[in-house]
């Protein structure tokens, strides 16, 4: 199974190299443009390779070009896209998709059953894509008629439709934009936008007037590359961009959001996040294997203060692994009050006594917290608060800050006591995070595990991952209850989604997930 983590890949895959500037073919005669009809939205990194079957491109850009079979709607509801309807057999093995009639790629090539199957054959069932349950469990596909296809699985995959709603490698390229061997040549999809040019400086789009759904209200979209946050803030001050934000486009920090609030004509908008910052434990270490120690750590954390001070209020404190914006997120647990005295009593009862660091059988209560700003932005400030709060109960905590490469060697190889993790968010949760971070038999090779217990937790995870729709809510709740009852993890906060826009944007609509660029519903003044 390949080493892959969706969130981590998107944040870092483009940082390791560059792609030579290239002008891409377009079915539109329009060149680069700016003005009243152009929406300008920066990204922190270049779009890179826009091949929809590979993982090297920037997904927020790919989402503008290529459509999925089904879309991920608010709250995780699956809604029609290129498939206008679908059925799933009672045993969860056979999926039938009724394709939308009359759809063409932006180059005029028909989207039909042949084009759909041609695309699917490039990834489904292949080992490089086995991180997707719909691919790992794939058995066969077939053309039923020109507007209907079937996909058969070897085993039920409860996340199959959600996975088919995501971006690479699930979306559809025009067969006419490939070479004689079926290899990608240029980015042509059925989406709302047509690529005019794409290079290290940015990507320029023209509206796809052949689009099957509601067309954009503006006729141009410009996505300049502005790597530094301060430069993006300056560009917004100068009126050079119209809006910015998003975890995978051009993330706004809480401090930058506060700065932007002071800029005349700029509006900062927030929404409930879909991911969670979690303090995870190494269950193979003697100290963190003790549930009393883990409970004491949780009692030491002042989640409310962390959300208010470290995140400047741009976060919701939590005791839940998933926010309510994620399907099957479970019952809302009350946010624990910080109680250092109760933490001390738990430690005393477990045999940890004396002054800081406490000791038990001659072993000091000393823990190493491994952090990486690359993996979890803001983790340095957060780790220092955690260190201070744990010290009050008699813990000795040292912080080891590492780079991206070191973290993704140390954490999977259990070279840590505690570490900060971030869940995948919509549309990959809850199934994505419980698989990657908790299932002992799954190895992503990148972010490692928040906690594992093959004997007790794995059976609950496997039941949730294979449950039918009627059983799924209870199955996921059983997983969340086990994690809570065993103090296996310490969820800390759900970061808010942050975007900012100028007065040129008359209407802003949050995208359903952070993996997509806000486009649908946005209106220029």
Boundary (domain end) residue, out of 138, 168, 200:
200
Residue 397 confidence (pLDDT): 97
Is the residue at 80 inside a domain?
yes
CA 98 vs CA 84, 89, 182: distances in Å: 6, 14, 25
pLDDT tens readout for residues 49-79 = 999 999 989 999 999 999 999 999 988 999 9
**Does one domain contain both 187 and 286?**
no
| Maximum separation of any 2 CA atoms in the chain, in Å | 77
Is the residue at 513 inside a domain?
no
Q: What is the CATH number of the domain that holds 428?
A: 3.10.105.10
Q: How far apart are CA 411 and CA 448, in angstroms?
A: 5
Altogether, the residues listed in the chain come to a count of 525
Centre a 10 Å sphere on the Cβ of residue 50 and count the other Cβ atoms it contains. 26
**Does one domain contain both 282 and 382?**
yes
**Does one domain contain both 181 and 294?**
no
Is the residue at 39 inside a domain?
no
Residue 445 confidence (pLDDT): 65
**Does one domain contain both 324 and 447?**
yes
Split into its structural domains, the chain has a count of: 2
**Does one domain contain both 162 and 283?**
no
Whole-model pTM?
A: 0.89
Contact between 496 and 271 (Cβ < 8 Å)? yes
CA 6 vs CA 9, 131, 165, 168: distances in Å: 5, 10, 14, 10
Q: How far apart are CA 515 and CA 64, in angstroms?
A: 11
**Token pair in block for residue 514:** 């952070």
Contact between 239 and 227 (Cβ < 8 Å)? no
Residue 292's Cβ-count burial label (10 Å; 0-12, 13-18, 19+) is middle
Describe the strand order of the beta sheet including 497-501 as a list of residue ranges: 243-245, 497-501, 267-271
Q: How far apart are CA 28 and CA 198, in angstroms?
A: 14
Q: What is the CATH number of the domain that holds 187?
A: 3.40.190.10
Instruction: Report the DSSP beta bridge partners of residue 523.
Output: 507
**Token pair in block for residue 429:** 């949760």
Q: How far apart are CA 408 and CA 396, in angstroms?
A: 25
Residue 251 confidence (pLDDT): 94
**Does one domain contain both 288 and 191?**
no
Is the residue at 467 inside a domain?
yes
CA 227 vs CA 15, 250, 514: distances in Å: 11, 8, 18
Boundary (domain end) residue, out of 166, 200, 234:
200
- What b/e readout covers 305-342, taking b as 16+ CB neighbours within 10 angstroms? ebbeebbeebbbbbbbbbbbbbbbbbeeeebbebbbeb
**Does one domain contain both 291 and 145?**
no
Is the residue at 232 inside a domain?
no
**Does one domain contain both 288 and 393?**
yes
- Pair type for strands 267-271 and 497-501: antiparallel
Q: How far apart are CA 199 and CA 195, in angstroms?
A: 11
Residue 4 confidence (pLDDT): 45
Tokens 């963190």 belong to residue: 288
Is the residue at 237 inside a domain?
no
Q: Which domain holds residue 114?
A: 6-29+47-200
Instruction: Report the DSSP beta bridge partners of residue 70.
Output: 80
Centre a 10 Å sphere on the Cβ of residue 18 and count the other Cβ atoms it contains. 11
Look at residue 363 and give its three-state secondary structure: strand
Contact between 52 and 66 (Cβ < 8 Å)? yes
Q: How far apart are CA 204 and CA 61, in angstroms?
A: 10
Residue 469's Cβ-count burial label (10 Å; 0-12, 13-18, 19+) is exposed
Centre a 10 Å sphere on the Cβ of residue 411 and count the other Cβ atoms it contains. 23
Q: How far apart are CA 423 and CA 144, in angstroms?
A: 39
The gap from C-alpha 521 to its chain's centroid, in whole angstroms, comes to: 22
Which residues in the chain land under pLDDT 50?
1-4, 9-35
Residue of 77, 62, 84 lying closest to 191 (CA atoms): 62
**Does one domain contain both 118 and 10?**
yes
Q: How far apart are CA 226 and CA 41, in angstroms?
A: 10
Is the residue at 288 inside a domain?
yes
- What are φ and ψ of residue 462, in 5° steps? -65, -35
Instruction: Report the DSSP beta bridge partners of residue 202.
Output: 199, 224
**Does one domain contain both 167 and 287?**
no
**Token pair in block for residue 443:** 């190895």
Sign of CA dihedral 201, 207, 212, 214: positive
**Does one domain contain both 182 and 312?**
no
Is the residue at 85 inside a domain?
yes
Instruction: Report the DSSP beta bridge partners of residue 457.
Output: none
**Does one domain contain both 372 and 473?**
yes
Q: How far apart are CA 478 and CA 460, in angstroms?
A: 7
Q: How far apart are CA 263 and CA 261, in angstroms?
A: 6
DSSP H or E stretch at residue 129: none
CA 198 vs CA 94, 213, 221: distances in Å: 39, 25, 12
**Token pair in block for residue 86:** 């679908």
Look at residue 343 and give its three-state secondary structure: helix
Boundary (domain end) residue, out of 200, 225, 255:
200
């Amino acid at each position: 199974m390949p080493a892959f983590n969706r969130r981590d890949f998107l944040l870092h895959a483009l940082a390791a190299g560059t792609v030579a500037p290239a002008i891409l073919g377009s079915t539109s005669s329009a060149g680069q443009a700016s003005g009243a009809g152009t929406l300008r939205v920066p990204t922190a990194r270049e779009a890179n390779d826009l091949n929809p079957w590979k993982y090297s491109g920037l997904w927020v850009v790919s989402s503008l070009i290529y459509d999925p079979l089904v879309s991920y709607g608010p709250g995780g509801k699956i809604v029609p896209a290129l498939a206008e309807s679908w059925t799933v057999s009672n045993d969860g093995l056979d999926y039938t998709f009724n394709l939308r009639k009359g759809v063409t790629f932006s180059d005029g090539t028909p989207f039909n059953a042949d084009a759909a199957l041609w695309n699917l054959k490039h990834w489904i069932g292949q080992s490089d894509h086995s991180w997707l349950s719909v691919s790992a469990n794939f058995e066969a596909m077939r053309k039923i008629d020109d507007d209907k296809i079937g996909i058969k699985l070897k085993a039920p995959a409860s996340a199959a439709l959600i996975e088919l709603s995501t971006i690479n490698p699930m979306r559809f390229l025009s067969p006419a934009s490939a070479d004689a061997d079926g290899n990608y040549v240029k980015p042509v999809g059925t989406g709302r936008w047509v690529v005019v040019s794409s290079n290290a400086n940015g990507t320029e789009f023209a509206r796809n007037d052949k689009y099957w759904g509601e067309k954009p209200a503006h006729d141009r979209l410009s996505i300049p590359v502005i790597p530094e946050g301060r430069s993006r803030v300056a560009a917004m001050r100068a009126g050079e961009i119209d809006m910015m934000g998003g975890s995978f486009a051009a993330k706004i920090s809480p401090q930058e959001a506060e700065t932007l609030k002071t800029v005349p004509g700029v509006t900062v908008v927030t929404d409930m996040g879909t991911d969670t910052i979690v303090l995870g434990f190494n269950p193979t270490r003697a100290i963190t294997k003790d549930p009393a120690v883990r409970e004491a750590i949780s009692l030491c954390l002042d989640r409310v203060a962390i959300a208010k001070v470290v995140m400047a209020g741009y976060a919701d404190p939590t005791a839940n692994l998933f926010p309510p914006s994620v399907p099957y997120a479970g019952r809302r647990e009350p946010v624990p009050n910080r109680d250092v005295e109760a933490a001390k009593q738990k430690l005393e009862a477990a045999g940890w006594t004396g002054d800081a660091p406490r000791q038990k059988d001659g072993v000091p209560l000393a823990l190493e917290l491994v952090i990486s700003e690359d993996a979890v932005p803001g983790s340095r400030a957060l780790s220092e608060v955690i260190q201070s709060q744990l010290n009050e109960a008699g813990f000795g905590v040292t912080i080891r800050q590492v780079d991206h490469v070191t973290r993704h060697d140390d954490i999977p190889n259990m070279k840590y006591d505690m570490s900060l993790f971030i869940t995948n968010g919509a549309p990959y949760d809850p199934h994505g995070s419980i698989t990657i971070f908790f299932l002992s038999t799954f190895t992503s090779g990148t972010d490692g595990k928040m906690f594992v217990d093959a004997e007790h937790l794995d059976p609950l995870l496997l039941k949730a991952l294979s449950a039918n729709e009627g059983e799924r809510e209870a199955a996921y709740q059983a997983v969340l209850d086990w994690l809570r009852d065993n103090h296996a993890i310490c969820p800390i906060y759900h970061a808010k989604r942050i975007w900012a826009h100028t007065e040129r944007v008359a209407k802003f609509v949050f995208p359903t997930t952070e993996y997509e660029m806000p486009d649908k519903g946005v209106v220029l003044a």
